Amino acid sequence: MSQNAATFYTADFDIGGTFTDGFFTDGSVAHRAKVFTTPHDLTEGFMGCLRLGAEAFGEPLHSFLSRTQVVRLSTTLGTNTLLQRRGPKVGLIVTAGAEASLYGTGRQAAAFSSILDPELVRGVEEDTGDDGESLREPKAAEVLQAVRELVNLGARIIAVSLRNSWRNPAHEKQLREIVLERYPVHYLRSVPLQLAHEICSSDDDHARTNTVALNAYLHRDLSRGLYKAEDMARESGMRHPLLIVNAAGGSARVAKTVAVQTLSSGPAVAVRGAAIMARMLGLDHVVCADMGGTSLDVAVLGKSEPPVVGLPEISGFQIAVPVISTESIGAGGGSIARVRNGELTVGPDSAGSVPGPVCYAKGGMNPTVTDANLLLGLLDPADFLGGRMRLDENRARESVAKRIAEPLGVDVETAAVMIREKVNSSMAEEIRNRIEGIGANPMEYAFFAFGGGGPLHACDIAEQVGIQKVVGFPFGSVFSAFGSSTVDVWHRYSRSLARRVDNQAAKGYLGNAVDELLAQGRLDMRGEGFDQDELSEVYHLVINAPSRRHEIDFAAPEFSKVFDGLVQDQPDGEMREVILDVRAETPTWLPPEVPAARSMAVPTSTRQVRWSRDSESVVTSVVRLEELERGAVIDGPALIETRDTVYAVKDGWSAQIDPFGNVVMETIISSGEEGSSDR
């Protein structure tokens, strides 16, 4: 039935390597959708997922989108470009003398091993002093010669990062003016130019150079894909700008999105969603793992707060873009199993969505984790993706037999168990290392398992790590899309200051920067559709003092008082930069609490499942999650099925539906249920 005309929706998407996930809500009811990612054109999967969301609310697509207030998208477009090394040839211009180090301490910068060709780097003679003073301006002839050489060598985008441009960007701006004067039309149409100080304002020359080079490498594919997605959604009725989620936990429209900020945005906002759920459930120590078709993304939450890294490392080199910290390994449902030199390996390469696991019957030849789970009885071949796809068990069996079982000299089911055990061991090791790396005890942690494959492997992983409590979510298969739904519209602006506090002009310089950033932030937010009274505006002033580096937070009217305090407390300090965060809250759906009495669930069916290498297959209870009331309990071995994932409750564990509808799995001893009278 169509919704009332007063109803407004939000729609959130995460485009992964195998699946495109959607999370939709009208503020009181939430629906989810899952489709295969379409690698040849990611917007096809995006629009297909969007149509399923509209159908879930009984709406035609145009009507649904016309009343959708927020459409947010996190994407692996940039990540895939980087992993597959399919970015364009990037030309880079730096200050002469830094062509090899790129302002780092080593002889050869790490970026040359992935995104840059040393032959496509040129140095120009110029100099900006450590006080920001222009000591030598770049010469037009040298700049134009560098540009000509880079274009002739095949550069399709040129990045510029000059030393100390964070202190004074005049030379970078001057270089662009020289190029535009010589190539006013032809050049702009074919080879864009990006300046480091416009991408980030880091005072680390090396990290800033890496950042602009990486951004240039990602820019082309990302801008094409995102603008196309926005155009298609607008043609279908969307009235508001498409918002792109960034890895720091915010979002902004396409035109205001910096490509490098989108890397790992899906896993990052999943961690944000996990932090919100941890607070709701009163859990201070949580490790979360998102197991999709391609990878496993892990993060550890302390005091329910997502960890943020200011200078993260991407592909072996450091960039200057803050991100919510996650660790990714090649362990997912599509991870490929092989026998090499008599040893079984699983991953890190994945079958993705095309061709996908062998059981998808889309041309895949190499067995995967999903094929193994199917052969063990953990998956129902007739109920994959809510029955929209049937899995081919015979093809999976033939592939595992030929490529795994025969080389190892074991039967097919044992080979499937070994594949599952191998990937479980890899995931458990990663999670254990993350917890023990911060000096914590795994027994103090709850394990949030999400993604399409997370709940299917969670009990085995938790047992190996030493965790006794697992929480799965009814929307866990699209958890990154749920995390996206909790994200505010957020713009971050920065202005380099490079002024000592005792400089007489410093106060005026800070005041001007504060006013200019505020004007820009409010203008951009009006473009997003927000009025000034809907905004939260916070400044961060970065100070480099002889004793330490620190930040001071303040509001615009307080800047004079803040500066006067610095004069008293840190007269010999230097104001490095001022950062403005402008946020506008958007509606966020959270699962309602429904108190319920404890009751034993009644299995709807049974299935033979092989749970371990040491035992034969056993009769296993099967229940549907949608049919379980809050408070329902089922002991392992059992499978709790829903249309897009399976919660595998192994022997020695028990699962209960909590008041929020989550599936909480605990070891029977730890939950205090062993020997209870109602069993």
What are the pLDDT digits (tens) for 319-330? 988 888 887 777
Q: Which of 474, 464, 404, 382 is nearest to 430 (CA)?
A: 464
Q: Which residues contact 330 (CB under 8 A, 6 or more apart)?
A: 294, 295, 296, 347, 348, 349, 350
pLDDT at 677: 37
Residue 188, pLDDT score = 42
Average pLDDT, the chain: 89
Could you tell me the domains of the chain?
9-82+223-262 (3.30.420.40), 85-219 (3.40.1360), 492-584 (3.30.1490), 599-667 (no CATH)
How many angstroms separate the Cα of 585 from the Cα of each of 49, 185, 315, 459, 588? Answer: 25, 41, 33, 36, 9
Task: Summarize the confidence of residues 496-525 as an average pLDDT.
Answer: 91
* Coil vs helix vs strand at 619: strand
Q: What is the pLDDT of residue 8?
A: 86
Residue 76 has pLDDT above 90, yes or no: no
Closest CA to 378 of 390, 369, 388: 369
Say what the pLDDT of residue 214 is: 95
Please report the pLDDT score of residue 190 as a whole number.
66
Say what the pLDDT of residue 250 is: 85
> Is a pLDDT exceeding 60 seen at residue 678?
no
User: Which pTM value belongs to this model?
Assistant: 0.86
Q: What is the pLDDT of residues 419-465, one digit of tens each?
A: 999 999 999 998 999 898 888 899 999 999 998 889 999 999 999 99
Tell me what the mean pLDDT of segment 653-661 comes to: 96
> pLDDT digit string (tens) for 251-285?
888 888 889 999 888 888 999 999 999 999 999 89
Q: Which of 183-192, 330-339, 354-363, 527-536 has the lowest mean pLDDT?
A: 183-192
The predicted-structure confidence for 373-413, as pLDDT tens digits, reads as follows: 999 999 999 888 777 889 999 999 999 999 999 999 999 99
Tally of CB atoms within 10 A around 462: 27
Question: Helix (H, G, I), strand (E, B), or coil: what is residue 229?
Answer: helix
Per-residue pLDDT, 673: 53
β-pair type (446-450, 469-472): parallel
Three-state DSSP state, 149: helix
Number of neighbouring beta carbons within 10 Å of residue 564: 11
Confidence of residue 644 (pLDDT cuts 50, 70, 90): confident
Question: Tokens in use for 387?
Answer: 């029955």
Supply the pLDDT for residue 503. Answer: 85
- pLDDT at position 192 is 87
Question: pLDDT digit string (tens) for 552-600?
Answer: 999 999 999 999 999 988 888 999 889 999 998 887 899 999 988 899 9
Percent of the chain with pLDDT over 70: 96
Q: With beta carbons less than 8 A apart as the criterion, state whether 72 and 13 touch.
A: yes
Q: Is the pLDDT of residue 488 over 90?
A: no
